[in-house]
Structure 1
Amino acid sequence: MTTAIHIGRFKMTWLLGGVFPFTADFMPAVASAQGQHNFAAAGLPIEGPSFEPFHAFAIEWDNHLWLLDAGPGLEEGPDRGEVLNELRTLGHEPEDVDAIVITHLHKDHTGGLLTAEGKALYPNATLYVGETEMAFWTNPDQVPAGNQRDHEVALLMQAHYQGRIEVLADDAVIRPGIRFVPLPGHSPGHNGVMLEDGDARLLMWSDLMHSAAQQFNNPEWSVVVDLDPERAIETRLALLERLAEEDTLVAGSHTQGVGKVRRHASAYKLVPAEGGVFEHSE
């Protein structure tokens, strides 16, 4: 089943690339009594795992088809390369994609830009990337030792989409109604993407969170792949606090569902979007 939501003139459809098991290996704090409580409260075994998604998103309006990220492709294993198949269930081929907005250059968001042979999968797409992120991941002197494959995929992207990459300011308006929202910490230039049309707003916050079961209750917990954990926590807390006062819808690359952030006890929760905004299809 595919799920889509309308934000004014924009139709956003979830493209599920696969899932991964979320445990204390990914977030050490989950091994605590509080982490076990969080899993149990979500109806899961106290040690997990929760199975979290690798999402990309299709954005359609007028005669345009854009993607938000491209999913992992084969970079996270053969069972997590389903974004292209999901796109085809919508009746589209790679040639139909006009542009791809890249939130950040971790390989589970960029691997899907490439074929199994490492060539460009989307022959007509312009890529939009934030300047801080592009500068970091294409400079071998800055990339941490554990992130060499992210660097390699970024260089493949740079080579095979040559002439079709637009490097923009971190807070750029990409086109009317679509803009970057800087959310640094997970990576230096990690961005969310805001869709806006009239009073309708949705923030796709990318990797701000990796587990709704854990991080709404404990937003001060970070994952081991956050390059700057302290800044990631600061970014997450500030954004959640702001969103709790707004009517902005949110969705994420590694969390299920869509809704509005609201305060809950000493932390936060996601209140699901009201009915009438979704389309579901088999």
Structure 2
Amino acid sequence: MTINVSRRSLLALGAGLGASTLLDGSALARAPKLGTQTPYWHRFNLGDAEVTVVSDGPLPLGPPKGTFVGVPDEEVRKMLSDNFLSPDNVVLEQNSPIVNMGDKLVLFDTGMGTSKVFGPTTGRQQKSMAEAGIKAADIDAVVFSHAHIDHIGGVVDADGKVLFPNAQYYIAQSDFDFWTDEGKQGGPLKDFVVHARKNLMPIRDRLVFFKDGQEFLPGIQAMAAPGHTVGHHMFMVTSNGKSFAFLGDLTHHAVLLLEKPLMEFSYDTDPKQAAQSRVKMLSMLASNKIAVMSYHFAWPGYGHVAKAGDGFHYYPEPMVMTL
């Protein structure tokens, strides 16, 4: 169907807007523009648990070329533009669920913290928690999917003070050992290793190492999904028969790495292993229709995945604004 809109009809429409709209299209509003946004948190129920998603802010990666590899650059750009996303700047979110199980308050991943390696928009997790009414001192457990800079960066502040003073911390030992290795500080991973040591060494005596398949906290089971890092894990979170999987960095992008899950991501320690983990875990989640939360999907990163041809499709869950 083609809709023809004439200049005369547009002028007639404009006449109905009232005297506050001028001929040049400008308007004299009764109030100035506010320039503020809604707080960066969202809350929902999971069985008997209450889940609050807090953001560490957007994380821009820049152009996809060299970051998403194994598929022709122009095809990657078209995948983005076909989904109304910028083909020149891939922007990830940073979504951390805080799960109140009734007896424990559990935070998954801590954002970039003080590091500005990916620009000034990251590092707002503590602010988001305050907006949500959650105190850092009330966190009982901090669970790390892996030890990359944008997941362990918010453990300490600029002065090295631990921000979650009453928490026990959980991580895979292989990831802790790899990213705190002093011998890597002189190599290409320097920034990541320095940041990991800054945040993880002060809590070394409070770290607990989980194993694949272990329910290391009530209702929280570790699931190994290596490749992005040597010890990368995702987690099944369950309360009163309801579950979701926190994916960590199983997949960074809801279009690129789902439609073409064998595409490689340059920040993966072992890109081919990461791709195999991605296909295996997404296939399981899709076939069982288990809800997912991805750390890097569009805010707040909660929904479902389904098989679609040789890949997958992500269906965001509508945000329910009543509890």
TM-score with structure 1 length normalisation? 0.90
Matched, 1:190 2:229: no
Does the aligned pair in 2 maintain the 1:170–1:189 contact within 8 Å? no
Structure with the bigger percentage of strand: 1
Counting only pairs closer than 5 Å after superposition, residues 150-169 of structure 1 correspond to structure 2 as 150-169=192-211
Letter in 1 for 2:46: I
Which is higher, the Rg of structure 1 or of structure 2? 2
Matched, 1:52 2:96: no
Higher RCO (CA-CA < 8 Å; seq separation 6+)? 1
**1:20 paired residue number:** 59
TM superposition shift of 1:156 = 2.7
**1:145 paired residue number:** 187
Matched, 1:103 2:149: no
1:36 to 52, 74, 77: 77
SS at match of 2:161: coil
Matched, 1:216 2:258: yes
TM superposition shift of 1:50 = 3.5
The number of equivalent residue pairs is 278
Counting only pairs closer than 5 Å after superposition, residues 1-282 of structure 1 correspond to structure 2 as 1=38, 2-22=41-61, 23-25=63-65, 26-29=67-70, 32-45=73-86, 47-76=87-116, 77-141=119-183, 145-256=187-298, 257-273=301-317, 278-279=320-321
Does the aligned pair in 1 maintain the 2:227–2:271 contact within 8 Å? yes
CA distance change for structure 1 residues 29 and 242 in 2, over 3 Å: closer, same or farther?
A: same
Task: Calculate percent identity across the aligned residue pairs.
Answer: 24
CA distance change for structure 1 residues 80 and 96 in 2, over 3 Å: closer, same or farther?
A: same
TM superposition shift of 1:30 = 6.5
CA distance change for structure 1 residues 219 and 73 in 2, over 3 Å: closer, same or farther?
A: same
RMSD: 2.2
Which whole-Å CA distance do the structure 1 matches of 2:239 and 2:136 have between them?
A: 26
Q: Deviations along 1:66-120, whole A, 9 cap, x unmatched?
A: 2001111122344311100010012122211111001100111111111011231
81-90 vs 149-158, which moves further: 149-158
Which whole-Å CA distance do the structure 2 matches of 1:44 and 1:134 have between them?
A: 35
TM superposition shift of 1:31 = 5.6
TM superposition shift of 1:143 = 7.3
225-234 vs 62-71, which moves further: 62-71
CA distance change for structure 1 residues 143 and 268 in 2, over 3 Å: closer, same or farther?
A: farther
What are the ranges of 5 or more consecutive residues in structure 1 without an aligned counterpart?
A: none
Does the aligned pair in 1 maintain the 2:155–2:200 contact within 8 Å? no
TM superposition shift of 1:199 = 3.0
Which whole-Å CA distance do the structure 2 matches of 1:170 and 1:134 have between them?
A: 15
Which whole-Å CA distance do the structure 2 matches of 1:149 and 1:169 have between them?
A: 27
58-67 vs 212-221, which moves further: 58-67
TM-score with structure 2 length normalisation? 0.79
Which whole-Å CA distance do the structure 2 matches of 1:110 and 1:200 have between them?
A: 28
TM superposition shift of 1:8 = 1.3
